A and B are shown apart, each in its own frame.
Chain A
């Protein structure tokens, strides 16, 4: 057992990469199928397959099952997949860039900025009853404003240092959190809606939103993957990476830009879902190793799996009430993480 794991985490070959990524994709596919079939109304697997197949083939369907699957369950499940991919791949890349295991995708103040945008939109009354798009758009703008402020604050002498970014993220985060708290205090009847959004949920997902974000997310994750060799080199420090020919400025700016885009998209679509971006990369490090060429794709898929499972539990645990997915994520992710952590301590593995 021990030896297997040692061999498995040896350096990357295309074959190992392909096997690992394909098996995780298969796991994701299974969890999506299970997730579609369970719920207040149970749908047999066979029916699920037929409806999805017909949906892909573009055949018009009018059955009850097809309505439940195509209009209610599938959009939120696909959204869970996209958000999971976005948050976990961002988390893994940022941990690599900052060489700090406690970094999550919200480190640059994105969550606070997005919460500010959302809170503003909700308290101003531009809520989901008027248009489904007001809230996500203003959350997205809030997130981008926050990161721009952080980046601007950290910029000095032609460069942006990691510690400055983290300090900037904390400072800007506190400012926006204070405004959000104030808005919650004065929001009166909108308070519950705001809290529900803050805790994160996929239940409002629409096919229109998915169409909008799918391509940007896929392209962004490929760009992060493209920088995985640079992230590998950065584990030895910035000086050494630069001496090995890495274009530090480009790498840093690109990773910050892309992860900001991914995280802002995720937050604006589903609210603030914690834990995934921080812990999925760690879980994957312990399974596949620390080479970013395999860590980034597996983290992306792993994040998707965790969010699909969490969403399923959120929908079913006290059905028909839908529990906020962020609550569930931590509940099932944390014990698994503790288990892996303790196991690696026992085996005296080097932790990151």
Chain B
């Protein structure tokens, strides 16, 4: 897990250089000797499973958590700067922010001028002008008089990015800015962000949950696992199936060292899933001698990566595309052949609603594993998904977690 030395040398005229960054939290090592460099005008994507240290890395760079190692931005040693000076140089957008209750979008962006005008009680003319300019650039001017709670999550995300820009840091740190957004909004936000980074010639470090997004929008990529860099380099060279497997800990040896498993009398289980919600169930069935197929997935979904590594047949659609009619037909045929259908709770938008739609006229035994309310992951127009979901629920058996579901399957016989 050593950093590739050649890569570091390649970007020697960089503007951010981080050497041997190590973080301990409560005596536990969270980050382990992280070193990398970043040039102006580039976006660095950080990928890694939950708990791999993505957020801690961002917080360490902006000195919100204590760290060992050096962080040098445009020749300045970050740790020697005051909080205000750091805020002038680095804009950090945490993943979780509160709603700025009672503040309109304009004010939300305006208060980010704090590092520049903290000596004044009132906002200077230049602060107001700067804020207006940034609202124009980010296309958020139309929400200037709206409260954040009145905006959709995509609009809100853009206002918060505008806020980070108003702070005028040459380095932007964004912690999963696309989480909880549907594909269209994700693409829109990342597109704008990329344009801004390129025109301002600034730098951005962005953490991603979604491999596809990371691959599409980053110039450079770091893959983190357990606080160490698995791989680091240009996106095209680094984001390979091999590396993704190493990073996301796709467990290939499910047959070895596992407790003896009961062989089920189910012939064929079809799983409709996405966003990594179905891989555990797929492994479970596969390990018990059941033929498994998986519903329409994106090729970069970690569900698909697992499916491939277990040689499970999965129907795949091109990334960033709505499901096509041909695929829906194919999907229908697979479902016809299966003995049972399992649906997990994954986010549903207009692009993948057909995955769910198809079950309305399905006469197979349907199982739902539902850990969150459908409303919270419904990105369809008119909340269509929630309506359909509740319809399907009427004829399905619903479980709140995988274990209850496994117990039920083991205790019953199916054709």
Please list the residues of chain A having a beta carbon within 8 angstroms of any beta carbon in chain B. Answer: 6, 11-14, 17, 99, 157, 228-229, 232-233, 235-237, 239-240, 242-247, 285, 289-291, 293, 350, 352
Closest beta carbon of chain A to B387's beta carbon, Å: 25
**B64 & A239 in contact (Cβ 8 Å cutoff):** yes
From B115-123, B227-235, B265-273, B344-352, the one touching the partner chain is B115-123
List of A residues within 8 angstroms of B107 by Cβ: 11, 232, 291
**B101 & A244 in contact (Cβ 8 Å cutoff):** no
Tell me which of A157, A239, A350 contacts B96 (CB under 8 A): A239
List of A residues within 8 angstroms of B114 by Cβ: 229, 233, 244-246
**A243 & B94 in contact (Cβ 8 Å cutoff):** yes
**Does B83 reach chain A (CB closer than 8 Å)?**
yes
Please list the residues of chain B having a beta carbon within 8 angstroms of any beta carbon in chain A. Answer: 26, 62, 64, 83-84, 86-88, 91-94, 96-103, 106-108, 110-112, 114-115, 118, 121-123, 128, 145, 147, 149-150, 167
Q: Answer whether A12 and B123 are a contact pair too, CB < 8 Å, given A235-B103, A236-B98, A240-B94.
A: yes
A-B contacts, 20 listed (Cβ < 8 Å): A13-B122, A99-B98, A229-B118, A232-B107, A236-B100, A239-B64, A239-B94, A240-B93, A240-B94, A242-B64, A243-B62, A243-B64, A243-B87, A243-B92, A245-B84, A245-B118, A246-B83, A290-B102, A350-B147, A350-B149
List of B residues within 8 angstroms of A243 by Cβ: 62, 64, 87, 91-94
**B112 & A244 in contact (Cβ 8 Å cutoff):** yes
Please name 18 further chain A to chain B contacts, defined as beta carbons within 8 Å, in addition to the given A11-B106, A229-B111, A236-B100, sorted by A numbering.
Answer: A11-B110, A11-B123, A13-B122, A229-B114, A233-B114, A236-B98, A237-B97, A237-B98, A239-B64, A240-B98, A243-B91, A244-B112, A245-B86, A245-B87, A245-B88, A285-B102, A293-B122, A350-B101
A350 to B112, CA, bound (A): 22
**B106 & A244 in contact (Cβ 8 Å cutoff):** no
List of A residues within 8 angstroms of B103 by Cβ: 232, 235, 290-291
A232 to B98, CA, bound (A): 12
Q: Answer whether A235 and B100 are a contact pair too, CB < 8 Å, given A11-B110, A14-B122, A245-B115.
A: yes
A247 to B85, CA, bound (A): 12
**B84 & A236 in contact (Cβ 8 Å cutoff):** no
CB closest chain-A residue, reference B83: A245
Tell me which of A6, A14, A235, A291 contacts B101 (CB under 8 A): A235
Closest beta carbon of chain B to A291's beta carbon, Å: 7
CB closest chain-A residue, reference B113: A244
List of B residues within 8 angstroms of A229 by Cβ: 111, 114, 118, 121
**B86 & A239 in contact (Cβ 8 Å cutoff):** no
CB closest chain-A residue, reference B101: A352
List of B residues within 8 angstroms of A13 by Cβ: 122
**B84 & A99 in contact (Cβ 8 Å cutoff):** no
A232 to B101, CA, bound (A): 10
List of B residues within 8 angstroms of A244 by Cβ: 87, 111-112, 114-115, 167
Total A-B contacts with CB atoms under 8 angstroms apart = 90
List of B residues within 8 angstroms of A235 by Cβ: 98-103
User: DSSP majority for the A interface?
Assistant: loop
Q: Answer whether A6 and B145 are a contact pair too, CB < 8 Å, given A229-B114, A244-B112.
A: yes
List of B residues within 8 angstroms of A247 by Cβ: 83
CB closest chain-A residue, reference B94: A239
A247 to B82, CA, bound (A): 10
A290 to B112, CA, bound (A): 16
List of A residues within 8 angstroms of B94 by Cβ: 237, 239-240, 243
A240 to B106, CA, bound (A): 17
Most buried by B among A6, A233, A293, A352: A233
A240 to B93, CA, bound (A): 7
List of A residues within 8 angstroms of B145 by Cβ: 6
CB closest chain-B residue, reference A7: B145
Closest beta carbon of chain A to B323's beta carbon, Å: 37
CB closest chain-A residue, reference B150: A350
List of B residues within 8 angstroms of A99 by Cβ: 98, 101
Closest beta carbon of chain A to B359's beta carbon, Å: 38
Most buried by B among A12, A17, A236, A290: A236
List of B residues within 8 angstroms of A228 by Cβ: 121
List of A residues within 8 angstroms of B106 by Cβ: 11
A14 to B120, CA, bound (A): 11
CB closest chain-B residue, reference A99: B98
Closest beta carbon of chain B to A145's beta carbon, Å: 32
List of B residues within 8 angstroms of A236 by Cβ: 97-100, 108, 111
**For the complex of A and B, 10 pairs with smallest distance between CB atoms:** A290-B102, A245-B87, A243-B92, A237-B98, A239-B94, A245-B84, A245-B115, A350-B147, A235-B100, A240-B97
A229 to B88, CA, bound (A): 16
A55 to B135, CA, bound (A): 56
**B97 & A239 in contact (Cβ 8 Å cutoff):** yes
A236 to B92, CA, bound (A): 13
List of B residues within 8 angstroms of A240 by Cβ: 93-94, 97-98
CB closest chain-B residue, reference A238: B98
A11 to B107, CA, bound (A): 7
A165 to B362, CA, bound (A): 55
**B62 & A352 in contact (Cβ 8 Å cutoff):** no
**A293 & B121 in contact (Cβ 8 Å cutoff):** yes
List of B residues within 8 angstroms of A246 by Cβ: 83, 114
Closest beta carbon of chain B to A298's beta carbon, Å: 14
**B96 & A237 in contact (Cβ 8 Å cutoff):** yes
Most buried by A among B93, B103, B145: B103
List of A residues within 8 angstroms of B121 by Cβ: 228-229, 293
A215 to B112, CA, bound (A): 34
CB closest chain-B residue, reference A101: B101
A161 to B296, CA, bound (A): 45
CB closest chain-A residue, reference B169: A243
List of A residues within 8 angstroms of B128 by Cβ: 11
List of A residues within 8 angstroms of B147 by Cβ: 350
Most buried by B among A13, A157, A245: A245
CB closest chain-B residue, reference A350: B147
A243 to B98, CA, bound (A): 14
List of B residues within 8 angstroms of A289 by Cβ: 102
Closest beta carbon of chain B to A284's beta carbon, Å: 11
Closest beta carbon of chain B to A54's beta carbon, Å: 37
A289 to B110, CA, bound (A): 15
List of A residues within 8 angstroms of B150 by Cβ: 350
A3 to B98, CA, bound (A): 28
A14 to B167, CA, bound (A): 23
List of B residues within 8 angstroms of A232 by Cβ: 103, 107, 111
A13 to B118, CA, bound (A): 16
A244 to B167, CA, bound (A): 7
A12 to B104, CA, bound (A): 12
Q: Answer whether A12 and B122 are a contact pair too, CB < 8 Å, given A99-B98, A236-B100, A350-B147.
A: yes
